[in-house]
Amino acid sequence: MPSASLDTFFACTIIVAAALIATAFLCSTMQTRITSTQDINKESYLKAIADHIITNPGTSLNWGSRSSVPADFGLAASSSTISYELDIDKISRLNNLNNYSLSYADMANAAKLNNLALGIMVSQVMSINIEQLSNSTIGSEASFTFGISTSIYSKPTSASLHYYVVANNYLSDITNSTSNVGVGYVTIQIPSAATDNAMLIVFARASFDDRITSYAIYNFLNSTQESAPSNDILALSPLNYTLSFTTNSSGLTIQKGYVFSYSIQQNLTSILGNQCLIPKIIDKSPLIMVIFGLNNGTYFQEWTAYPQIPLRAGSNFEGSEQNIFSYVVTINDVLYRLDVSLGDVVS
């Protein structure tokens, strides 16, 4: 083949190869962009669902204060005047410890999510850790020293502290604070005969924002910090500022009750049958209710929180994709963290 023809052949080959490479690169780039766009669209779609759940009050508007199933699922307070303000009863009805809790099937149906898993988790913004450092008994009095640490998203945080000790025929309170590195100490004396039934309630309020107020419970009998009520003897369910009691014991007698917030302690009054009213305390704080009495002649006390937080409701996403959307929300003037989890979009 003449030299000129060879040159032309090789030149054409190079041009064709370059065109093929350019086409392959363009197709790869386009596919990457299409995939990326699909991911963006999916995330936007799921985020819109999560936003709707948080900003929509649902139907009926006050479904949280009733035992009925909502026709449309939404957690916002119906009279909300601020962004991401949620209804205390709608949140409490997601806790499976509540007698009026909403089942996952009812929640998913009301949210109108077809083949899309839904999960909701609510937690306190500030974490409190209680550690018993020492204890001793002199005569009829027992002394306990605790270390208290406070943090926000694992970062040590200074806070004001208010402690309540509740035991058989004994009630006391103490105030102090944690340091700049989020550590504080407290020594408590209680009658040694009452230690088996005693509990320590700790409220912590962040020094930079009083809306960040959290609680923690310490059980003296088990020497452990409790993340949820035991409900062993008496199950307590708050709803619509009414506390309901249920028990399987035929020998149970309720004697009295207390309600605690960061700043305030009050007696629960008007205990009639299996219910009593919860006072509407004006304090930027979760409420802790303690009910006590006799169970077949033995003293007992049980507690619950209002709203019933922490909580985890819905799907556990085992073996499936989980897309998490996080919010800082307000419930009765207190800030909480809320995560809405949604499964993968089925095409």
Place of tokens 């916002």: 76
DSSP secondary structure of 187-205: EEEEEGGGGGG-EEEEEEE
**DSSP conformation class of 72:** B
Res 133 pLDDT > 70: yes
CA angle centred on 20, ends 16 and 24, rounded to 5°? 170
On average, the pLDDT of the chain sits at 89
What is the distance between the alpha carbons of residues 29 and 208, in angstroms, rounded to a whole number?
A: 49
Confidence of residue 1 (pLDDT cuts 50, 70, 90): low
Mean pLDDT confidence for 164-169: 93
Domains of the chain as residue ranges with CATH: 126-233+241-300 (2.60.40.1930)
Count of all residues that appear for the chain in the document: 347
Give residue 49's Cα distance to chain centre: 20
Strand partners, 146: 132, 186
Place of tokens 């806070």: 159
Mean pLDDT confidence for 263-292: 93
What is the distance between the alpha carbons of residues 147 and 183, in angstroms, rounded to a whole number?
A: 7
What is the distance between the alpha carbons of residues 242 and 245, in angstroms, rounded to a whole number?
A: 10
Regarding predicted confidence, which is higher, 24 or 81?
81
Q: Residue 34's pLDDT is what?
A: 38
Place of tokens 């929509």: 56
- The order of strands in the sheet holding 170-177 is 170-177, 159-167, 199-206, 213-219, 224-226
Q: Residue 120's pLDDT is what?
A: 97
What is the distance between the alpha carbons of residues 82 and 54, in angstroms, rounded to a whole number?
A: 12
Q: Which of 298, 345, 346 is nearest to 323 (CA)?
A: 345
**Quick count: other Cβ atoms within 10 Å of Cβ 25?**
10
Structure tokens at 13: 């080959």
Best-predicted range by mean pLDDT among 95-99, 155-159, 253-257? 155-159
Res 13 pLDDT > 60: no
Res 8 pLDDT > 80: no
Res 23 pLDDT > 50: no
Mean pLDDT confidence for 264-283: 91
Contact present, 252 and 294 (Cβ < 8 Å): yes
Res 276 pLDDT > 90: yes
Percent of the chain with pLDDT over 70: 88
The CA R_g of the chain, rounded to the nearest whole Å, is 28
Res 21 pLDDT > 50: no
Regarding predicted confidence, which is higher, 344 or 297?
297
Res 281 pLDDT > 70: yes
**H or E element that contains 138:** strand 126-138
**H or E element that contains 215:** strand 213-219
